[in-house]
């Protein structure tokens, strides 16, 4: 596992008492010093989040591996636990033979910021709610991905209890994702910013 350039991990502060709890999920000031390149922006451009989404997944659901070239993601787990896999394909786009990998478990209140060029996916280890903020509104043009079990990425996904052969539950889209090397070849052909 490696520390990936532009990736940051952290944990929210939860304020709780007998009435319940309060958590601050995001604050703009925390991203003032973020390098615009990590959001796929030109130098000097402001980095701002423009859309927020809530992903709800049952135990054993795997979402990914997804890749953006013009969007930074900031994930916050609000409940449950996720095994998060980050696969940095930027070295491969530049000509390296293999990507870099960082995998961690995130529980409630854990967060991660994911720059452009770093593929991401998660496996719900238990029922999961994940809020994510993005720096580009969804339009489908920057929705890339590769096979969750691609041997070039070598993500050590945990086995899923209660499913055939311990395999995760995947969407049709994620089942149809190409091989990592094929995706990298497509990106090189069209240019990384497009």
Task: Determine the Cα–Cα distance for residues 145 and 65; give it in Å rounded to an integer.
Answer: 5
- Band (pLDDT 50/70/90 cuts) for residue 1 is low
The HSE-up count of residue 126 (CA atoms within 13 Å, CB side) is 9
Task: Determine the Cα–Cα distance for residues 87 and 187; give it in Å rounded to an integer.
Answer: 15
Over range 74-88, report the average pLDDT: 98
Q: The domain 34-190 belongs to what CATH superfamily? A: Jelly Rolls (2.60.120.10)
Give yes or no for a contact between 121 and 66, defined as CB atoms under 8 angstroms apart: yes
Q: CA of 142: how far to CAs of 37, 90, 175, in Å?
A: 16, 15, 18
The pLDDT tens digits for 89-142 are 999 999 999 999 999 999 999 999 999 999 999 999 999 999 999 999 999 999
Task: Determine the Cα–Cα distance for residues 177 and 24; give it in Å rounded to an integer.
Answer: 35
What was the pLDDT predicted at 191? 73
Q: Residue 122: name the closest of 182, 53, 75, 72 by CA.
A: 75
Contacts of 37 (CB under 8 A, 6+ apart): 6, 43, 115, 116
Bond before 62 cis per omega within 30 degrees: no
Q: Which of 22-26, 82-86, 122-126 has the lowest mean pLDDT?
A: 22-26
Domain ranges of the chain: 34-190
**pTM of whole model > 0.85?**
yes
Whether 194 shows a pLDDT value over 70: the answer reads no
- Band (pLDDT 50/70/90 cuts) for residue 60 is very high
Task: Determine the Cα–Cα distance for residues 77 and 107; give it in Å rounded to an integer.
Answer: 6
Whether 79 shows a pLDDT value over 90: the answer reads yes
- Band (pLDDT 50/70/90 cuts) for residue 43 is very high
What was the pLDDT predicted at 28? 82
């Amino acid at each position: 596992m490696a520390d990936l350039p532009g990736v940051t991990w952290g944990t929210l502060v939860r304020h709780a008492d007998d009435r319940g709890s309060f958590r601050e999920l995001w604050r703009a000031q925390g991203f003032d010093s973020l390098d615009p390149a990590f959001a796929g922006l030109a130098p000097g451009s402001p980095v701002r989040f423009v859309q927020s989404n809530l992903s709800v997944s049952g135990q054993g659901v795997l979402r990914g591996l997804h890749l953006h070239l013009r969007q930074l993601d900031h994930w916050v787990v609000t409940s449950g636990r996720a095994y998060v896999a980050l696969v940095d394909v930027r070295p491969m786009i530049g000509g390296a033979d293999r990507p870099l990998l960082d995998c961690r478990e995130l529980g409630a209140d854990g967060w991660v910021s994911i720059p452009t060029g770093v593929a991401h996916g998660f496996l719900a280890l238990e029922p999961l709610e994940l809020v994510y903020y993005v720096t580009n509104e969804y339009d489908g043009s920057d929705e890339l991905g590769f096979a969750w079990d691609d041997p070039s990425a070598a993500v050590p996904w945990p086995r899923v209890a209660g499913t055939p052969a311990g395999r995760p539950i995947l969407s049709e889209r994620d089942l149809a994702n190409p091989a990592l090397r094929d995706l990298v070849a497509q990106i090189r052909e069209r240019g990384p910013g497009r």
